[in-house]
Amino acid sequence: MGVVLSAAGVMLPGLLNMTAAKLSLKEGRQRAVIFALGAALVVFFQTYIAVSFAKFLYGEPHIIYVLEEIGLVIFTVLTIFFLFIARRKKDKKTKEVVKLGSRWGNFLLGALLSALNFFPIPYYVFISVSFSSYGYFTFDRLFIFLFVLGVMTGSFLVFYLYIVFFKRIENRTEFFMNNVNYFIGGVTGLISVITLIKIIRSH
């Protein structure tokens, strides 16, 4: 379950997988894999925090409603940013990925960018609460550990897929690089619509 849900969550182009792809093109597959390991390790802790938070929230439905409303505002703002504001920067020269000069530096870069990405926490809070309501998710320690381990594994596999895939089509990645903001904006926009529909139905 963790592998499948994490793969679904990070399969579309985003900051982490696109950075892994860029590192693969510029510094080689090995450096990109080390970056992916750092990012996946942070995802492990983020998911554990999210599931622990969901366990606390499971008996407090009014708090969940408030979080959904906050999430709607956040995803709407992100959609506006990626679809409209980021478009103005399209013609500007893209900044190169920071090259820290060592494998350890790439690992830390992956961990840092992953820590700055707050999407996993609300995503897995929503997933765990929703699935538990249907009986597919339990909050016992072994289940949580295996789920979190699966999420970390699934995230790394997707990062690795980007590393290998973009390396093989190195000369045809310009379209993805130039339009990544639209991909992300489309995803956040879809999440906003789904969240809004759920809030309307709840009230």
Domain boundaries, the chain: 2-202
The yes-or-no verdict on residue 28 having pLDDT over 80 is: yes
Range in 49-63, 82-96, 103-117, 176-190 the model is least confident about? 82-96
pLDDT over 70, % of the chain: 73
Q: Mean pLDDT across the chain, nearest whole number?
A: 78
pTM above 0.75, yes or no: no
The closest of 107, 86, 106, 87 to 98, measured between CA atoms, is: 106
- Quote the pLDDT of residue 84: 75
Q: Is the CB of residue 34 less than 8 Å from the CB of residue 197? A: no
- Quote the pLDDT of residue 100: 47
Q: Spell out the alpha helix ranges (H) of the chain.
A: 2-10, 15-27, 29-57, 61-80, 103-116, 120-133, 141-168, 174-202
* End-to-end Cα separation, the chain, in angstroms: 30
- Quote the pLDDT of residue 149: 96
